[in-house]
Amino acid sequence: MSYKVIIIEDEPPASKRLLNMLKKCTVPLEVIEILDSVEDSISYFKNFTKFDLIFMDVQLGDGLSFDIFKKVDVQKPIIFTTAYDEYTLKAFKVNSIDYLLKPIDQDDLEYAIGRFSQQYSNDIASFDMTHIVESIKKPNYKQRFLVKKGKQLVVIPSEEVAFFYSEDGYTILGHQSGSKHIIDLTIDQLLDAMNPRNYHRINRKMLVSLSSISSIHEYFNSRLKLDLIPRPIFDVIVSRDRVKGFKKWLNGE
């Protein structure tokens, strides 16, 4: 007998990597669905319940995965995946929910699945997420960044960040003044570190601040083009698969 698994992950490379890692696990697993948004997950769980385990990314393109539980009653074990959110990880620990820190390690994956198999395989149907949702309080989002400016170290408050982008293997912080600084967090890690009300991922390589957006234009291939202040040296494009989530974010949803 193999356990039926759902993967909820909005980054195709990450879901593909997890899928390949699950195939190597000693516990037999069968991935029956890969979902990439809060909206699609809600729709799926309203119609399908015949599965045993969920792997769920914390931050999705159209919101936090916890929003799913506000719309549907999911009484299945969940192993969360996240790039960075120390407070949330502590909440998972307290409630005996496994989590995997990205990039996922094969040994950690095996351990988490082993815990699932031992603790829930005989009582999967009665697993209740209600106390998990209620226990997760407001996360501690990153308040400032320590960056190098010449031979000096400078502290930049998070509210002064206009955007982040990745380039040539580095992550660049764009300040409101127009200055740019290399930081040691990836775009994936910044998703959990920054307040999602104020910062949003518009494509694979870029995170923008709401306050930095001066205008929005329709762009070819169903995409959007943004004018930011300060203006980067490249075009700022909202990828087609993120346009819907971006509009919801702008609308405060």
Residue 127 predicted with pLDDT over 80: no
> Which range, 80-84, 98-102, 217-221, is most confident?
217-221
Q: Which CATH number fits domain 3-135: 3.90.950.10, 3.40.50.2300, 3.10.290.10, 3.30.499.10?
A: 3.40.50.2300
Task: For the chain, give every residue range classified as CATH 2.40.50.1020.
Answer: 144-250
Mean pLDDT of all residues in 167-179: 93
Report the pLDDT value the prediction gives residue 119, as an integer from 0 to 100: 73
Task: For the chain, give every residue range classified as CATH 3.40.50.2300.
Answer: 3-135
Q: What percent of the chain has pLDDT over 70?
A: 86
The C-alpha angle 112, 195, 81, rounded to 5 degrees, equals: 10
Mean pLDDT of all residues in 182-201: 91
Q: C-alpha distances in angstroms, 72 versus 76, 169, 236?
A: 12, 39, 35
Residue 128 predicted with pLDDT over 70: no
50: left (phi over 0), alpha (psi -120 to 50) or beta: beta
Report the pLDDT value the prediction gives residue 132, as an integer from 0 to 100: 52
Cβ–Cβ contacts within 10 Å for residue 167, how many? Answer: 12
Task: Name which of 14-18, 40-44, 141-145, 149-153 the model is least confident about.
Answer: 149-153
The C-alpha angle 223, 229, 231, rounded to 5 degrees, equals: 70
More confident site: 1 or 101: 101
pTM for the complete prediction?
Answer: 0.52
Task: State the pairing for strand pair 161-167/206-209.
Answer: antiparallel
More confident site: 171 or 122: 171
Tokens of 158: 């998070």
Average pLDDT, the chain: 85
Q: How many helices (H) and strands (E) does the chain have?
A: 8, 17
Q: Encode pLDDT of 175-185 as tens digits.
A: 999 999 999 99
Q: Please give the full DSSP string across 137-161, using - where no structure is assigned.
A: -------EEEEEETTEEEEEEGGGE
Q: Encode pLDDT of 37-57 as tens digits.
A: 999 999 999 998 889 889 988
d(CA 178, CA 33): 43
- What is 144-250's CATH topology? OB fold (Dihydrolipoamide Acetyltransferase, E2P) (2.40.50)
